[in-house]
Amino acid sequence: MRQYSRPFHRIEIRAQGQTLLCTIGLKVFTIIVMQSHEDLKQHLIRIDGKGYKAYKDLKGSYAFPEYTFSIDHVQGDPFAAPSRCRVEMPQSIARFPDDLIRSPIRRIALADALTREFDSQSRRASKRCGTGNSGLIEIDRPKQEVLERTSASVNDERVEARFFVGLPAKGRTILGREALRIINESLPALVDCSLKFKNLDPATLQHFVETIEDADAIRKGLRARGLIAFVANGAILPRKSGIDPRPLEKGAIPFNAPETLAQTFERPNQGPITGMGIPQGVTLIVGGGYHGKSTLLRAIECGVYNHVPGDGRDYVVCDPDIVKIRAEDQRAVTGVDISPFINNLPQGRATTFFSTENASGSTSQAANIVEALEVGAKGFLIDEDTAATNFMIRDHRMQELIAKTHEPITPFIDKVRPLYSDFGVSTILVIGGSGDYFDVADTVIAMEQYQASDVTARAKNIAMKYTSRRRSEGGSGFGILRHRIPIPESLDPSRLSREVHLKTYDIETIAFGTEKIDLSAVEQLVEKSQVRAIAHAMMYAKIKYMNEDATLAEIADRIMQDVAEQGLDALTEEKFADLATFRKFEWVAAVNRLRTLKVQSKG
Ligand code: ADP
Ligand code: MG
């Protein structure tokens, strides 16, 4: 038997950039050394006048008297997207009262408010100089929705803001003194006025946090009352314009609930509030053209999110699992069972595993519905303005002319009730053009001069008096809901020499490898940062959860659970500054619109 002598423990410490490599025996530990703001200052003076590349070494964390400043990513040149930076300030200095951060929803609201404050202050603080983005200080800019975002977060221990700085240069020559001015003057002043409680208006913050908590509480209370949506009295629903989501100011008529649908909710902070409760089941919104039907529906669909105080939709909320459905011809569809709606296609094409590169209006709308059901939608919103007519209705006269055997489409009117009875899925429909729907509705709301009234009884009387004479074509139930398993290899994010190419150009497009995913018809997305997070979540899902047997629904749930537990940082290795929270419905919508997607049916 050979004897091994115990080896001497080798201990060695070696510096590598800003990390220390510490070797003990065979194990190597890395220790990140925090440099001081003085080090940063010296560094900037040293690289003044050098080529832009010299900025690269700035990556790292620096201790300032009141906070830690980190540069997480350095831009390649002055025209590139500005460098990603971060400030962490301990609560011992920021001093936000416990009351503002005592629940998750309060923390999300406060962080969102801080992003907005940082945004407005940074417009003053950033002084452009030199070339390209030089001198810019900018944070991800929120719109009307209050969302969990990576731009700011707050907890018991610290406040964090993530933002962008255009590291200054003239041409490609580093302006070190300008950089120094940003780091030593602009940034500390900006941090001071936007991240310290004492420099903020406490009443505004309090109101912000309480409004969000109240709206959230109403949304959570909907199901217990058998409601799918709530629109508060006094709400301002119309927007400034089709491209400006702020409230219409001139001539906006505040919402007022019909008495028969009035509901009162007790808010945790601001007392009782009354408005219109839309019951679960099938609801029609009817009325003449230009009387506010689509505006009401649009406000409801945005009710999955909370809004900033003063938005007008502060207390317009809907069930969190409500999905807007529309026709979307030309989209790709992959292996979806659309047979509840579409059968007997020409050339005998199967519809239980239906794929196309180029869907029609009706097949796309059918696929949109089935895909949302697959991941657990609890309600649908459909506007006649964006629906395929032949998908919505087929009246008595048309039934007489074209036999069912020659019409592949089973219209939505014959499936809307089974959706509710089989799956508990409610529908709110804007439909000014077809009274046939009176037969299948539980509630009918009329919009007249932007005023809502309950016309359910009248509609039912009319339906009895003038029968539609149409035959139901839908059979007894909705049909089978089949789950799909995505094939991980079919999500390929590589492009040219790059292993991962993910980009978000606007709110409508994700570049995924060589593919472009078109999200223009996914109407409940409100911010580009959500789309960016969804792109990362697709990668995350592929790596972590896609395998031989996980269905899209299971994968979607796991992603949402990880984000709920660990925040949006769970999705990426780097700390991104511009991700915002999203729902599983919008995540799966992106996956479903990837044209390379391949799936197999479960079971
Ligand atoms: P519909 O769908 O019934 O045809 P819309 O909802 O598109 O009508 O509304 C038509 C116009 O009326 C839009 O320009 C919208 O901004 C405006 N509008 C909607 N609701 C209100 C309101 N409550 N007060 C003032 N204007 C409104
Ligand atoms: Mg309309």
Half-sphere exposure of 441 (CA within 13 A, CB side): 29
Task: Tell how far the Cα of 216 is from the centroid of ligand 2, in angstroms.
Answer: 28
Q: Give the β-pairing of 137-138 and 484-486.
A: unpaired
- For 308, the token pair is 């900033």
Domain span at residue 99 reads 35-200
**Identity (one letter) of the amino acid at 273?**
I
Q: Does 154 fall in a domain?
A: yes
Q: Does 9 fall in a domain?
A: no
What is d(CA 570, CA 554) in angstroms, rounded to the nearest whole number?
Answer: 17
Of the three residues 161, 181, 200, the one that is the final residue of a domain is 200
Can you give the pLDDT at residue 548? Answer: 86
Can you give the pLDDT at residue 31? Answer: 74
Of the three residues 180, 200, 220, the one that is the final residue of a domain is 200
Going by alpha carbons, the residue nearest to atom 20 of ligand 1 is 292
- For 237, the token pair is 């629903």
What is d(CA 594, CA 529) in angstroms, rounded to the nearest whole number?
Answer: 19
Task: Tell how far the Cα of 441 is from the centroid of ligand 2, in angstroms.
Answer: 19
What is d(CA 534, CA 509) in angstroms, rounded to the nearest whole number?
Answer: 11
In a 10 Å sphere around its CB, with 0-12 CB exposed, 13-18 middle and 19+ buried, how is residue 469 labelled? exposed
Q: In angstroms, how far is CA 399 from the centroid of its own chain?
A: 41
Please, which residues bridge with residue 325 across strands? 382
Is residue 217 within 8 Å of 268, Cβ to Cβ? Answer: yes
Can you give the pLDDT at residue 379? Answer: 98
Q: Is the CB of 450 under 6 A from ligand 1?
A: yes
Which ligand has its closest atom nearest to the C-alpha of 288?
Answer: 1
Q: Does 330 fall in a domain?
A: no
Q: Does 92 fall in a domain?
A: yes
CA angle 263/266/271 to nearest 5° reads: 120
- State which H helix or E strand residue 600 sits in: strand 599-601
Q: Does 24 fall in a domain?
A: no
Residue where the block lists tokens 């060589």: 514
Task: Tell how far the Cα of 297 is from the centroid of ligand 2, in angstroms.
Answer: 9
**CA torsion sign, 483 to 488 to 492 to 494?**
positive
Dihedral (Cα; 328, 333, 337, 340), 10-degree rounding? 20
95 contact partners, CB below 8 Å, separation of at least 6: 196, 197, 198
Can you give the pLDDT at residue 20? Answer: 74
Q: Does 574 fall in a domain?
A: yes
Average confidence (pLDDT) per 10 residues, the chain, 603 residues: 55 71 77 87 96 96 97 96 98 98 98 98 91 96 98 98 97 96 96 98 98 98 98 98 95 98 98 98 97 98 98 98 98 97 87 96 98 98 96 94 91 97 98 94 98 98 94 91 97 93 92 97 97 97 95 98 97 96 98 98 87
Can you give the pLDDT at residue 1? Answer: 47
Q: Does 403 fall in a domain?
A: no
Is residue 318 within 8 Å of 377, Cβ to Cβ? Answer: no
Which atom of ligand 1 is nearest to 255's Cα? 23
What is d(CA 226, CA 162) in angstroms, rounded to the nearest whole number?
Answer: 41
Q: Does 541 fall in a domain?
A: yes
Q: Number of folded domains in the chain?
A: 2
Q: In what order do the strands lie in the sheet with 515-518?
A: 502-506, 509-512, 515-518
Of the three residues 171, 200, 229, the one that is the final residue of a domain is 200
Residue where the block lists tokens 């925090």: 34
- Could you tell me the pTM of the whole model? 0.94
